[in-house]
């Protein structure tokens, strides 16, 4: 058996087309969706991410603002900019690109963003809303993963066991909460979990989000399982790869996401979805 691919590029195009339609309708009503992206410092990877986000905004008809600052920007100055953006009626979503320079407290900056504009879904209020099942912005990467499950007919995971490998606040924990909300039984592990194979072999859905190559191999996967690879690494040849041994696992799994072309495109897409929802609430 060879797994079917969950094509993040194709799904992303579908979702973005819907966002563009909604953006046009909102703009016609006098509310053009607006996203502000703030970049502090000169991290090359961050610069690429930011450029892609701004480009995506333009493609769906959003108003986008990119603010670039030197790494010497003080925490107080950044907090003041966030406060100004909170008060700007033309801005419906605020994204401060992480990581920030070491002298700036990431958590303090994230918490300074108004929950109504927290389209990255990192604010404590957003996490709390997710925990109790209330309306709030979902973290973009796990939200994209859930959209991919929905696309293959697994929006309701009642009776299914899901394993999340990765415990970070950015992906692991919000991913587990979203899976629980979809009625799955969820186990959170990490790369050092004792007998990780015993956990993953029971799972109907495995989400690998560790940032470590080959953390999930074919012998660790239940035949027919859905495997979602959130990892972003480089192999020995310098090519992009995920956390999953793709060539081996695809011969066992029922569905699998590729890297690149899987979860990555969906992350930015769900940022657009969150910003669109914020504008529609305005």
Axis crossing angle, helix 8-28 with helix 140-151, rounded to the nearest 10: 110
Per-residue pLDDT tens over the stretch 35-75: 999 999 998 888 888 999 999 999 999 999 999 999 999 99
**Would you state the pLDDT for residue 48?**
87
Residues recognised as catalytic: 53, 97, 120
Helices (H), the chain: 8-28, 44-59, 75-86, 106-112, 124-132, 140-151, 172-181, 196-200, 246-249, 263-281
- Grouping H, G, I as helix, E, B as strand and the rest as coil, residue 235 is coil
Q: Which CATH number do you get for residue 82?
A: 3.40.50.10860
Give the model's confidence band at 1: pLDDT under 50 very low, under 70 low, under 90 confident, else very high: low
Give the model's confidence band at 127: pLDDT under 50 very low, under 70 low, under 90 confident, else very high: confident
**Co-location of 145 and 257 in the same domain:** yes
Task: Write out the residue range of the structural domain in which residue 65 sits.
Answer: 30-114
pTM to 2 decimal places: 0.93
Mean pLDDT of the chain: 95
- Grouping H, G, I as helix, E, B as strand and the rest as coil, residue 266 is helix
243: in domain: yes
**Co-location of 246 and 210 in the same domain:** yes
């Amino acid at each position: 058996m060879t797994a079917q691919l969950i094509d993040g590029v194709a799904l992303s195009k579908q979702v973005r087309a819907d966002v563009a339609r909604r953006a046009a309708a909102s703009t016609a009503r006098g509310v053009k969706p607006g996203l502000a992206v703030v970049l502090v410092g000169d991290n090359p990877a961050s610069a690429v991410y930011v450029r892609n986000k701004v480009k995506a905004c333009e493609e769906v008809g959003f108003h986008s603002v990119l603010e670039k600052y030197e790494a010497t920007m003080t925490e107080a100055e950044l907090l003041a900019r966030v406060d100004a953006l909170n008060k700007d009626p033309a801005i419906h979503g605020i994204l401060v690109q992480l990581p920030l320079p070491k002298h700036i407290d990431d958590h303090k900056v994230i918490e300074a963003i108004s929950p109504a504009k927290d389209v990255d879904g990192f604010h404590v209020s957003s996490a709390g809303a997710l925990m109790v099942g209330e309306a709030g912005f979902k973290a973009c990467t796990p939200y994209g993963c859930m959209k991919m499950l929905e696309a293959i007919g697994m929006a309701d995971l009642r009776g299914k066991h899901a394993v999340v490998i990765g415990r970070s606040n950015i992906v692991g924990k919000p991913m587990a909460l979203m899976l629980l909300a979809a009625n799955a039984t969820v186990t959170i592990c990490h790369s050092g979990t004792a007998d990780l194979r015993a956990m993953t072999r029971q799972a109907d859905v495995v989400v690998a989000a560790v940032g470590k190559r080959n953390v999930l191999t074919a012998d660790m996967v239940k035949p027919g399982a859905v495997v979602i690879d959130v990892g972003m690494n480089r192999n020995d040849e310098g090519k992009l790869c995920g956390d999953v041994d793709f060539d081996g696992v695809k011969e066992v799994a029922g569905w699998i996401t590729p890297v690149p072309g899987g979860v990555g495109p969906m992350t930015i897409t769900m940022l657009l979805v969150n910003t669109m929802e914020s504008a529609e609430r305005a």
